[in-house]
Structure 1
């Protein structure tokens, strides 16, 4: 139990620290692909996936633990991931982003986290559990991309890494945009850790390394999986209601660690402050949290569980889940941002015409 608490909190704190300092926000990254035509954060995610994939399959090959991809509940993954993608735009952050932004003092993320936690628990052990189970009955026998094609996982990983290297080299060759910055107030390590702007690709490598380390740490406690957010988040509420200590696992302390790590990073970088949303934003954040909990439970993973971990394991669940998360994000972004801006522009033009 002590090992589980210590390693879970430390791994989570490290992840929360890196994500907060590197502004590793997948919601913003998916949204920017559509609205700003900026793919950098998506490319950063691919780098994190590649690093984790190499690390985890190396550990598996050397016998650190065993892993089986299992079956592919394709219908649940498609529907759940799409709903989750819509939810993260309403909530203003994905599952992990909500945890780390709550650590920054963002009250809207606390509200979204409440909705996410409640709906996740309701879907996994509450009255909606039968619905959750029903979606997963439609399955394909193989979840492994390599097994589907009858090849080694290393071949799939090798092809993926080659693609990533091409993307990274191309991106790094682009002219750098010089962003004016204030004169540093700190020097040395303090400047690098708490003040200097981190490159998303550097952050991605760190996230990939932490995601790799999570596997053996978690497996040592009997939980053979890497980073995961939705089930541990639901477990927290289940434990608070029932008091059943058996509900607590390594993942619970991981997500608590994310909050603590982010809080520490935000305080040390002087970015922590309580920010209260207006009523409309607060309601939208809670609704987004409900969508997140519903979608991630059905899909069997969130932007981390499916989008980072199951993709690294080269599964259909991970990659198709990631695709439909992005489509859901784009759908919500269109109605929340683009349509609203178009409507505002028309109203301004109309007033200008009337005035003239």
Structure 2
């Protein structure tokens, strides 16, 4: 049954690549361009999954375990992870799908992320990870349990808030149609899947649907979890290094499937191209991958395991992780994008002022 992980991963990789769905971009746009366009699509994926998980749990098909909140580990790890994904140029799944479409910088980031996650979870850094996780462990699990309401009430609130954001987005963009693009070269399904630009909300809904599908299929394989990237990446490293097939599970095939699906999507749409960045970009990608691995191991999840999956379970860990991932992205975006942009503008303004002063003096 673990082979279904490959199929789910391939579907997810295809959707991510064709829909250009990257959580890093969604978080970064909140700070850089003050746009909620992709963040709304991300929340839609969370809300769709929350409905599906609630239904599957109610039917007895799954019984997700919600971890107790480890405050220091979640806050520090998520902030570190958030800074890392900006430097790496992609979140956990974003790094996988960009690696699949030929971005060499993402190859380096992906290896650094997986190796560091393995070291932090099971290797030389595992002791530090366990120490951080044990610093402040609470009894908090889910938000509904804390305020004393049923889980379904939390789902209704989440869906309602997300629906309001989606409605606002649809009104602002005048529907769910694609962006204006080049003249069509294909027809029918091939045009829709491989050529036509995908609306972010449609992509977000599809990601949420795949996330729902992952639960029963993963559960049937003996892996009692939904989508996840960090632990499977760590297990993939363990499998490659030791050859121990105990590491091979549904999650490992999931991440391999993401690579496969994104490669097939990029190849079929003509977007696959091996792109080699500068040495400085590669160095930054490696540094970002290291921060991603450490941060995700500390926080108990990445942009998928925490920000997408645990949030759909309405867990404290998930929503706190989401908050501090966004803050980490904001800090890194300020240092690498916003502040340098401000300095360039100030320099141009100073230069322009300097060139106009002599002319003004001559007129006098």
Normalising by structure 2, we get a TM-score of 0.94
Contact 2:27 2:39 in 1 (8 A): yes
Q: Could you give the per-residue CA deviations for residues 148-180 of structure 1, whole angstroms, max 9, x where no partner exists?
A: 122210000011111111111122112549954
Corresponding residue SS for 1:77: helix
1:276 matched to 2:273:
no
Matched, 1:332 2:332: yes
Cα pair 1:230 1:296 within 8 Å, conserved: yes
Deviations 1:229-263 (A, max 9, x none): 00111111111111111011110000000000000
CA distance in 2, matches of 1:136, 1:182: 51
Task: Select the residue among 108, 113, 117 that pairs with 1:116.
Answer: 113
From 149, 152, 165, give the equivalent of 1:151: 149
* C-alpha distance in 2 between matches for 1:184 and 1:118: 42
**Displacement after TM superposition at 1:142 (Å):** 2.4
**Which residue is equivalent to 1:313?**
313
| Separation (CA, whole Å) in 2 of partners of 1:176 and 1:276 | 38
What residue is the counterpart of 1:88 in the other structure? 85
* Counterpart in the other structure of 2:360: none
Query: Residues 311 and 175 from structure 1, CA distance in 2 versus in 1: closer, same or farther, beyond 3 angstroms?
Result: closer
Distance 1:109 1:38 in 2: 25
Tell me, yes or no, if the aligned pair for 2:181 and 2:197 is still in contact at 8 Å: no
In structure 2, the gaps of 5 or more residues are 357-364
Return 243-252 or 255-264, whichever deviates more: 243-252
1:95, distance to aligned residue in structure 2 (A): 0.5
SS for the counterpart of 1:72 is: coil
Distance 1:190 1:91 in 2: 32
In the other structure, the counterpart of 2:260 is 260
Q: Give distance in 2, aligned partners of 1:180 and 1:222.
A: 45
Larger Rg: 2
SS in 1 for 2:138: coil
- What is the number of residues matched between the two proteins? 353
- Are 1:45 and 2:9 counterparts? no
Q: Which residue of structure 1 lines up, in the alignment, with residue 101 of structure 2?
A: 104
Q: 1:65 — aligned with what?
A: 62
Is this contact kept in 1: 2:92–2:302, CA < 8 A? Answer: yes
Counterparts of 1:24 and 1:154, CA distance in 2: 28
Q: Is the 8 A contact 2:179 2:197 kept in 1?
A: no
- In the TM superposition, what whole-angstrom CA distance separates every residue of 1:189-222 from its partner, at most 9, and x where no partner exists? 1000000011111011111010001011111111
Query: Partners in 2 of 1:228 and 1:179 — Cα distance?
Result: 31
Matches within 5 A, 1:194-233: 194-233=194-233
Task: State the secondary structure of the residue aligned to 1:174.
Answer: helix
Task: Give yes or no for contact 2:303–2:322 (8 Å, CA) kept in 1.
Answer: yes
Q: CA-atom RMSD, angstroms? A: 1.4
Tell me how far 1:349 sits from its aligned partner: 4.1
Does the Cα contact within 8 Å between 1:70 and 1:141 map onto a contact in 2?
A: no
Alignment correspondent of 1:287:
287
Q: 164, 167, 170: which one pairs with 1:166?
A: 164
Instruction: Supply the distance in 1 between the matched residues of 2:62 and 2:167 (Cα, whole angstroms).
Output: 34
Query: Can you list the C-alpha shifts for 1:268-301, whole angstroms capped at 9, x where unaligned?
Result: 1100000001011110010000000010000000
Task: Give SS of 1:124's match.
Answer: helix
Q: Separation in 2 of the partners of 1:28 and 1:167?
A: 18
For residues 279 and 352 of structure 1, what CA distance do their matches in structure 2 show?
33
Moved more, 159-168 or 187-196: 159-168
Give the structure-1-normalised TM-score.
0.96
